[in-house]
A and B are shown apart, each in its own frame.
Chain A
Amino acid sequence: MSAMVPIEHSLILAFLLFFIGAAGVLIRRNLITVLMSIELMLNSANLLFVAASRQVGNVEGQVMMSFVILIAACEAAIGLAMVIAIFRRYGNIKTEFLRALRG
């Protein structure tokens, strides 16, 4: 465990995962895939927390990472409940049907 990967490489991996997730939010129309992309972005934040925790040598980043996982679980539960409600209302879950707030 002593041979350390430089923290920059963890940062680059986290940036890559974040941009893949953000691109998924932008290019997909399916609400479930959009929620999965949000999970990818939260995971890149978790990787940053754990890498920083390794870098500074205490466990506070890992504590924050467990809180982020908790928020992600709540977000997934409520988001999927909203997906079910949207499916009942519109009959599918494409994002282009959600235009009630468009002026």
Chain B
Amino acid sequence: MVEVWFFYFFAAIAVVASLGVILLRNPVAAAMLLVVTLCALAAEYVLLGAEFSAAIQVLVYAGAIVILFTFVIMMLNLGQEEVGQLAGFSKWALLLFMLGGAGVILIQRLSMGALPPGVPGGAASDNTYEVGMALFTKYLWPFELASLLILLALIASVVIARKPTFPSRDA
């Protein structure tokens, strides 16, 4: 029973922190709240029996991606005044969007009926072993293609972000 209450506790933390991510005007504070959201989700993964996913969530997301965001915020030297106005998006349109989303959730929940109960004891005893076996046997080719994709993203981001060495046509 304790796990269930921990689930709702971390769910509340994730929702509040993600609201802070989209509402705060200071970009550094938004990035730190993104770390809080990601760590709360990692705790949810542990409670769902996915320890390996929780580990790569903390290592890759909170450790690498948010650091990348923070580096860019520091590099561009974004102050409080430069960032932070809400777009000229109608409050009513936003409210309609949220209510529509809630309606979709409700309709889907009502049409789903009762879901079948989960497999009891479904969590593997050695989660990392299971995920590694699946990655290196059944999903070997997607895994190798993923490394190629990462290499492409690395080269592309270097090419996009470097200073242009020739004058652009419309400059």
List residues of A whose CB falls within 8 A of some B CB.
Answer: 1-10, 12-13, 15-17, 19-24, 26-30, 32-33, 35-37, 39-40, 43, 46-47, 50-51, 53-60, 62-63, 65-67, 69-74, 76-78, 80-85, 87-88, 92-96
Contacts and interface: CB of A to CB of B under 8 A. Distances in A.
A67 B15 contact: no
Given A33-B21, A33-B22, A46-B41, 14 more contacts: A3-B1, A5-B47, A28-B87, A29-B85, A46-B53, A50-B53, A59-B50, A59-B131, A60-B134, A72-B65, A73-B150, A73-B153, A77-B157, A81-B160
Contacts of A5: 3-4, 7, 47-48
Task: Tell me the interface secondary structure of chain B in the complex.
Answer: helix
A46 B40 CA distance: 13
29 contacts: A3-B2, A7-B115, A9-B7, A10-B44, A15-B101, A17-B14, A20-B22, A22-B101, A27-B22, A27-B87, A29-B86, A32-B69, A36-B31, A36-B69, A46-B53, A46-B57, A47-B44, A54-B50, A56-B118, A57-B121, A60-B134, A63-B139, A67-B142, A69-B56, A69-B60, A74-B149, A76-B68, A78-B157, A81-B160
Interface of B: 1-4, 7-8, 11, 14-15, 18-19, 21-22, 27, 30-31, 34, 37-38, 41, 44-45, 47-50, 52-53, 56-57, 60-61, 64-65, 68-69, 72-73, 75-76, 78, 82-87, 89, 94, 97-98, 101, 105, 109, 115, 118-124, 127, 130-131, 134-135, 139, 142, 146, 149-150, 152-154, 156-158, 160-161, 163
